[in-house]
Amino acid sequence: MSRLLILGAGIAGHTAAMHARRKLRRPHEVMVVSPNSRWNWIPSNIWVGTGVMTPDQVTFPLAPVYRRLGIPFIQARAVNIHPEGNPEEPRPHVVVEHTGGERAGQTERIYYDYLVNATGPKLNFDATPGLGPGGHSLSVCTWGHAAETAEVLKENIARMKKGEQRTFLIGTGHGLCTCQGAAFEYLFNVEFELRRQKVRDKARIIWISNEQELGDFGMGGMLIRRGGYITHSRVFTESLFTERRIRWITGAHIREVAPGQVRYETLEGEQKEQSFDFAMLLPPFAGVGLKAYDREGSDITDTLFAPNGFMKVDADYSTKPYEEWSPDDWPRTYQCPSYTNIFAVGIAFAPPHAISKPLFSPAGTPIFPTAPRTGMPSGVMARQVALNIADMIHGRAEGAVRTASMAHMGAACIASAGNGTLKGTAVSMTMYPIIPDFRKYPDTGRSLRYTTGEIGLAGHWVKHALHHAFIYKAKAKPFWRIVPE
């Protein structure tokens, strides 16, 4: 019997678990360890953050689903990995600390034959003094954060209805933030909600981001064909901001969040300040802090993990200038080069470099988005890794043969820009490939046929349909496989 141990039960970990259980014949075992007892469809947290949805509409308990699928589930956080075992027991194992139930706080050793690291990110609010719910700004990164943010938004709207003017600051809270998309969605949903509540005239809305320009989204921007001509996503995005009367600050690294004020540095080296009454600023991501030890107990964390805490996989991590970056740098199988029975998927794997061009202020401060790898790409790579492991366990393959490189993968994203049955809108974007390939597409980096951008009501309906479809799939309801990753 072989055991596949999956660390994490987010989009990547949960997808890997369901596909692995579907493919692995018993008595082989699939086991999931996650510190969270509930699954969260994170893209809909932006609607929780505006009070349109409740936490119960974007989450559900994991244990009943895994029980029905025959997957042992342990609510715990992984602490360290021993890929060679130890002198007393030379079997690979992970030490976990229980986070729920009667065993909360206790540690346990869990053995594995294959390991998938899908732990996701640490929300690194500490990278910026004063950032986050424990400081002076808000977040929609978790359903709990989003629910708190909705209450503060509600209080601000009540004050505006009494005639007060309020300043809303929404965006990224550090020069190396990853997920501009979630902040972008929240920005426009707040703007829509203020119009719906008839207080838009009392609001000053400001976007602040580490992007060099609007429309970058951590993807280096993209060229799209619109109305018979080719335009940059910057033009598309700037027109949307202008239409909604939203001011923008780009190329910004927030150094500190103080009560009612952020202090930030620009790419030009200027030190500036911006006041606010309401600030929702996303944090940068880091690895969750897993440690690794060899058989003798020596620390080999640097062997398995990059300095940012994400796990090294089959990528090119050599230091080379931006001009030499290549689509070939990106991983294909997500297999750990040091231990071939270990894989990392979703946000847990270390990208070889950013997708957007790295930029620095005159003082040397990095101010550019780090590579996003959430949502659809996470699900696709998790499925392929699960199928590779199942093939290896069943003896159908000697190694990982299925691939899911972001350099050969397309992606679709629907970003809500206002929640309403007849008046809501969404920005619908597709791109292929995710990693620009200027060898194949010399002028654009991506296919103009499969790289598109539109905004409208239809996209909003699709966004809602996907919310229900992905939660249906995550609950492993009948025919869940027909819902794509």
- 169: tokens are 């600051």
What does residue 397 show for φ and ψ, rounded to 5 degrees? -150, 145
Percent of the chain with pLDDT strictly greater than 90:
89
Q: Work out the angle between the directed axes of helices 376-393 and 11-23 (0-180°, nearest 10).
A: 30
DSSP 354-407: -SSPP-B-TT--B-SPPPP--SHHHHHHHHHHHHHHHHHHTTS-SS------GG
Q: Work out the angle between the directed axes of helices 180-196 and 143-161 (0-180°, nearest 10).
A: 30
339 in a structural domain: yes
CATH number of the domain encompassing residue 296: 3.50.50.100
256 in a structural domain: no
Rounded to whole angstroms, the Cα distance separating 45 from 24 reads 33
Buried b (16+ CB within 10 A) or exposed e, 65-102: bbeeeebebbbbbbebbbbbbeeeeeebbbbbebbeee
248 in a structural domain: no
**Tokens 């994203």, residue located:** 413
Which amino acid, one-letter code, is at 195? R
Instruction: Check residue 209 and give its pLDDT.
Output: 98
pLDDT exceeds 90 at position 225? no
318 in a structural domain: yes
> Considering only 102-111, 323-332, 453-462, which range has the smallest mean pLDDT?
453-462
> Considering only 98-102, 118-122, 305-309, which range has the smallest mean pLDDT?
98-102
Q: What is the mean pLDDT of residues 231-247?
A: 94
Instruction: Check residue 418 and give its pLDDT.
Output: 83
Instruction: Check residue 25 and give its pLDDT.
Output: 86
62 in a structural domain: yes
Q: What is the mean pLDDT of residues 245-253?
A: 98
Q: What is the pTM of this model?
A: 0.96
443 in a structural domain: no
Over residues 170-206, the pLDDT tens digits come to 999 999 999 788 999 999 999 999 999 999 999 999 9
Three-state DSSP state, 178: coil
Rounded to whole angstroms, the Cα distance separating 313 from 325 reads 17
449 in a structural domain: no
Split into its structural domains, the chain has a count of: 1
Over residues 31-77, the pLDDT tens digits come to 999 999 999 999 999 999 999 999 999 999 999 999 999 999 999 99
416 in a structural domain: no
How high is the mean pLDDT of the chain? Answer: 95
Rounded to whole angstroms, the Cα distance separating 386 from 405 reads 15
Over residues 433-464, the pLDDT tens digits come to 999 999 999 999 999 999 998 888 999 899 99
pLDDT bucket at 233, cuts 50 / 70 / 90:
very high
Q: Which domain holds residue 115?
A: 3-123+285-403
CB under 8 Å to 107, separation ≥6 — which residues?
79, 95, 96, 97, 98
